[in-house]
């Protein structure tokens, strides 16, 4: 097959290893990708890299794969973590999927004063992250943190962390200059809810020396669009 089929496994991987795939992965390879005995599949985890495997035995309930060679991947783990206010599930799925494909380090969900959604299905979100990594050639799955209130989360960050927050009123685009002076620090992008930050939250952000407003252009963007645009912008200048 010309299509590269990838599966993430939360298991130790090494050359010569025979693996029995889980029911969900077996269903995917059998019914979706239509693979059969002798076909190749690529397996990866967040630690050992990526391996080319061959399906050595096959039936509808289980597939055995033997790891025959290790792939030298060139993609790098993400450097920017995304802090995002919870939004409706259909839009949230898009945000998680696309930011994973672009290359995000981790997801930090928060509840702000104008957040419409208040809960997050972590297991469902982890499934979207896994599938997006498999599709986009990523090697390391970004972590999804537990939900916290925005104010509490902001105050918990190390003072050396740099938090860029999207602000329609800002004209600042000097991201490279900030990066040059803080190369060893943790970097975050903060995207507000659809109703934007409250006055209290904006006052808090402006009072914190490590919170830096940045412009994503003059257009008013939806939260999920701002996350994708902002992450792409930061990735292009922080490397």
Q: Which CATH number fits domain 80-237: 3.90.800.10, 3.40.50.620, 3.40.1280.10, 1.20.1050.40?
A: 3.40.1280.10
What is the pLDDT at residue 60? Answer: 78
CA 90/CA 195 separation, integer angstroms: 17
* Token reading at 55: 């399906």
Residue 97: pLDDT band with limits 50, 70, 90? very high
Indicate the DSSP class of residue 174: -
Indicate the DSSP class of residue 11: S
Instruction: Report the b/e string of 221-236 with b at 16+ CB within 10 A.
Output: bebbbbbbbbbebbbe
Q: Mean of the pLDDT values across residues 36-49?
A: 92
Residues of the chain with CATH 2.40.240.20: 6-71
CATH architecture of 6-71: Beta Barrel (2.40)
Checking if the pLDDT of 168 tops 80, the result is no
Task: Tell me which of 230 and 168 has the higher pLDDT.
Answer: 230
Q: Catalogue the E-assigned strands of 6-79.
A: 6-8, 18-20, 40-44, 50-58, 63-71
Residue 1: pLDDT band with limits 50, 70, 90? very low
Residue 67: pLDDT band with limits 50, 70, 90? very high
Q: Mean of the pLDDT values across residues 123-147?
A: 94
What is the pLDDT at residue 9? Answer: 93
Q: Return the H-helix or E-strand segment holding 128.
A: helix 122-136
Indicate the DSSP class of residue 221: P
**Contact yes or no for 118/88 (Cβ under 8 A):** no
pTM of the shown model: 0.90
Residues of the chain with CATH 3.40.1280.10: 80-237
* Token reading at 156: 């918990």
What is the pLDDT at residue 2? Answer: 60
Checking if the pLDDT of 183 tops 90, the result is no
* Token reading at 175: 């991201």
SS3 80: strand
């Amino acid at each position: 097959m010309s299509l590269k089929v990838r599966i993430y496994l939360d298991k130790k991987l090494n050359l010569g290893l025979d693996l029995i795939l889980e029911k969900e992965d077996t269903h995917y390879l059998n019914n979706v990708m239509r693979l059969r005995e002798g076909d190749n599949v690529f397996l990866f985890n967040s630690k050992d890299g990526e391996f080319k495997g061959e399906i050595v035995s096959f039936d509808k309930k289980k597939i055995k794969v033997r790891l025959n060679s290790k792939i030298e991947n060139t993609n790098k783990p993400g450097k920017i973590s995304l802090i995002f206010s919870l939004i409706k599930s259909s839009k949230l799925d898009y945000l998680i999927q696309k930011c994973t494909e672009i290359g995000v380090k981790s997801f930090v969900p928060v509840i702000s004063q104008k957040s419409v959604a208040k809960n997050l299905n972590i297991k469902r979100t982890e499934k979207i992250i896994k599938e997006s990594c498999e599709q986009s050639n990523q090697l390391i799955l970004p972590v999804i943190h537990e939900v916290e209130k925005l104010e509490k989360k902001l105050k918990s960050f190390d003072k050396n962390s740099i938090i860029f927050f999207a602000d329609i009123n800002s004209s600042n685009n000097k991201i490279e200059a900030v990066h040059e002076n803080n190369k060893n620090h943790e970097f975050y992008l903060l995207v507000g809810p659809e109703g934007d930050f409250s006055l209290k939250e904006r006052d808090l952000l402006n009072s914190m020396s490590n919170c830096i407003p940045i412009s994503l252009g003059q257009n008013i963007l939806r939260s999920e669009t701002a996350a994708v645009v902002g992450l792409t912008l930061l990735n292009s200048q922080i490397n």
